[in-house]
Amino acid sequence: MAYDSENIFAKILRGEIPCTKVYEDDHALAFEDINPQAPIHVLVIPKAAYVSMDDFTSTASDAEIANFFQAVGNTARQLELAEPGYRILANIGDDGMQEVPHLHVHIFGGKKLGPMLTRD
Ligand code: 5GP
């Protein structure tokens, strides 16, 4: 799938849509999810244009991949989630029910999160 530069997270990165920023470095931005599914629900995105985790891990450099996962860990530590624990999740494609076609990792925390998946 080609990257759509009009997706909502691309607009956030360009400053065209506001976000509540949690963490930022040269390569990544983390901000609160607009529709939180847990007391803490933050999205971490690379600043470069990648559609999904599949796109990212098949085309990004080793350094970009390392930087991005460091940003996820840095964000969680900044949120003081390392000790109580937290969950990360990335939806990919149709079956993963990915809504926004710019790679993002969800960070959930702030309570016991329960089972990983609901039953059908
Ligand atoms: P996905 O289903 O693609 O993994 O997750 C997309 C996430 O983006 C959802 O949790 C949704 O609430 C969040 N989201 C969608 N639009 C916006 C927005 O404009 N701002 C923010 N902060 N989050 C958004």
Rounded distance between C-alpha atoms, residue 111 and residue 81, angstroms = 10
pLDDT tens over the chain, length 120 residues: 899 999 999 999 999 999 999 999 999 999 999 999 999 999 999 999 999 999 999 999 999 999 999 999 999 999 999 999 999 999 999 999 999 999 999 999 999 999 988 877
pLDDT at 76: 98
Q: Please state the atom number of ligand 1 nearest to the C-alpha of residue 17.
A: 19
Question: 100 alpha carbon to ligand 1 midpoint, in Å?
Answer: 7
CATH for 8-109 is: 3.30.428.10
pLDDT at 110: 98
Query: What residue spans define the domains of the chain?
Result: 8-109
Ligand 1 is surrounded, with C-beta below 6 A, by 8, 17, 19, 31-35, 91, 97-100
Contact 88, 72 (CB under 8 A): yes
Rounded distance between C-alpha atoms, residue 120 and residue 105, angstroms = 23
pLDDT at 78: 98
Amino acid (1-letter code) at residue 108: F
pLDDT at 35: 98
* Residue nearest atom 15 of ligand 1, based on CA coordinates: 34
Residue among 43, 44, 95, 107 to mutate when testing ligand 1 (max atoms within 8 A of CB): 43
Catalytic residue IDs: 104
pTM: 0.97
